[in-house]
Chain A
């Protein structure tokens, strides 16, 4: 297995280790770009380039997490992977509004299937901010406070499962809090703000706990104390960055909705905003 084979790849020793990340970027970004071309042909107007940029940034974040750059058996390297996969990549992908794009390019009958799935009670439960927050931040508590982490450093399968969970739970959370995609029955601003703050607090708490008990946590590991402390600090401030990004995305949708309803009412028409599509 190549998981820990590329310590020296950052110096260019193992170009083969870059194959997987490269494929990830090309496939993820490629499918999306094909979609935007189809969108443009169908709708006669361009797909928002910010969304494209955001999606590609998400794909690059995944690739970096899988690349030799973060492949080192230190707590810091793991934390960088965690930040990239669980926080930055999901935010980028969610802000790319892939479901909106999908619905815009599918044939009507296929689009109906997608919206039917979005309307199922199971999806509603799974994508509720509280569920998503528990899966996302709760998953981190389980990982760092139980022997699961030690297991993930020994078993390649567990290692990849943990990474997959990071990405999917992070995506669900970002979607639930600030997703631009349509989600039937998405809870209102108050719920989402409260969940964002609570989840941010829980994340900050866990980071401080890891810092304070750097010698003993995660159970079963023997990272140097300074290494674990640095990792915990990165976790803490990385969490802040993502909190800010999600808050900005959340309030931006709020602002857009307010501006739109104001335009409909004909109030404040002297000040022309730039409505985004």
Chain B
């Protein structure tokens, strides 16, 4: 990531947030893929089609899955584009990645699991520790991302 000519005006609290958006897209796709691969396939906590508590569950799940796959690809291309324009801000991209991951975790943990009841993290066990882990993890990711994004960067740090 070195050798980029970053306009000082776009560094830090910038007008140009495209680096962050690229990161957000990748983060969303990444955490959804981790969920899918680790929890569905390897641990089999919720299974290949266990989410099918209803027809809508299956369909929304399919949409989410397809969207996250495309989002990840889109995110990488946004970053390549920003880089070619010479305005990539790695710190922003990392912040976006954390925010995207955290946002998905939060949404998954509250809306998917609790509000819609699409699926639970695990079956046949006390869910509270799992739900808490999910939410704490989400808050940590979001906090770290926000801190990285909005904290003023060290004044004269070379990029």
Also in contact, A201 and B77, with CB within 8 A (given A193-B70, A208-B52, A271-B84): no
Q: Encode contact with B along A261-272: 1 for CB under 8 Å, 0 otherwise.
A: 010000110110
Residues of B within 8 A of A123 (CB): none
Please report the total number of A residues contacting B with Cβ < 8 Å. Answer: 34
Distance, CA A203 to CA B69, complexed state (A): 13
Distance, CA A211 to CA B69, complexed state (A): 21
- By the criterion CB–CB under 8 Å, are B58 and A251 in contact? no
Interface class of chain B by DSSP: helix
Q: Interface centre among B48, B70, B85, B86, by most A CB within 10 Å? A: B70
Distance, CA A254 to CA B70, complexed state (A): 14
Also in contact, A273 and B84, with CB within 8 A (given A205-B58, A251-B73): yes
Chain A, residue nearest B68 (CB): A197
- By the criterion CB–CB under 8 Å, are A208 and B58 in contact? yes
Residues of A within 8 A of B61 (CB): 204-205, 208
- By the criterion CB–CB under 8 Å, are A244 and B73 in contact? yes
- By the criterion CB–CB under 8 Å, are A247 and B73 in contact? yes
- By the criterion CB–CB under 8 Å, are B49 and A212 in contact? yes
- Is A151's CB within 8 Å of the partner chain B? no
- Is B127's CB within 8 Å of the partner chain A? no
- Is B13's CB within 8 Å of the partner chain A? no
Q: Interface size for chain B: under 10, 10 to 19, 20 to 34, or 35 or more residues?
A: 20 to 34
Residues of B within 8 A of A115 (CB): none
Residues of B within 8 A of A271 (CB): 4-5, 83-86
- By the criterion CB–CB under 8 Å, are A252 and B63 in contact? no
Distance, CA A244 to CA B67, complexed state (A): 11
Also in contact, A205 and B59, with CB within 8 A (given A268-B85, A268-B86): yes
Also in contact, A262 and B85, with CB within 8 A (given A233-B48, A247-B69): yes
Q: How far is the CB of A124 from chain B (nearest CB, A)?
A: 25
- By the criterion CB–CB under 8 Å, are B58 and A209 in contact? yes
Residues of B within 8 A of A203 (CB): 62, 66
Distance, CA A202 to CA B4, complexed state (A): 41
Chain A, residue nearest B63 (CB): A201
Residues of B within 8 A of A200 (CB): 62, 65-66, 69-70
Q: How far is the CB of A269 from chain B (nearest CB, A)?
A: 9
Q: How far is the CB of B39 from chain A (nearest CB, A)?
A: 16
Distance, CA A236 to CA B69, complexed state (A): 13
Residues of A within 8 A of B144 (CB): none
- Is B121's CB within 8 Å of the partner chain A? no
Q: Can you sample 18 A-B contacts with CB below 8 Å?
A: A196-B70, A197-B70, A198-B66, A199-B66, A201-B66, A202-B62, A208-B52, A208-B62, A236-B48, A244-B73, A255-B81, A259-B81, A262-B85, A268-B85, A268-B86, A270-B86, A271-B5, A271-B85
Q: Which 3 A-B pairs give the minimum distances between C-beta atoms? A: A200-B66, A201-B62, A251-B77
Binding site for B on A (CB under 8 A): 193, 196-205, 208-209, 211-212, 233, 236, 240, 243-244, 247-248, 251-252, 254-255, 258-259, 262, 267-268, 270-271, 273
Binding site for A on B (CB under 8 A): 4-5, 48-49, 52, 58-59, 61-63, 65-67, 69-70, 73-74, 76-77, 80-81, 83-86
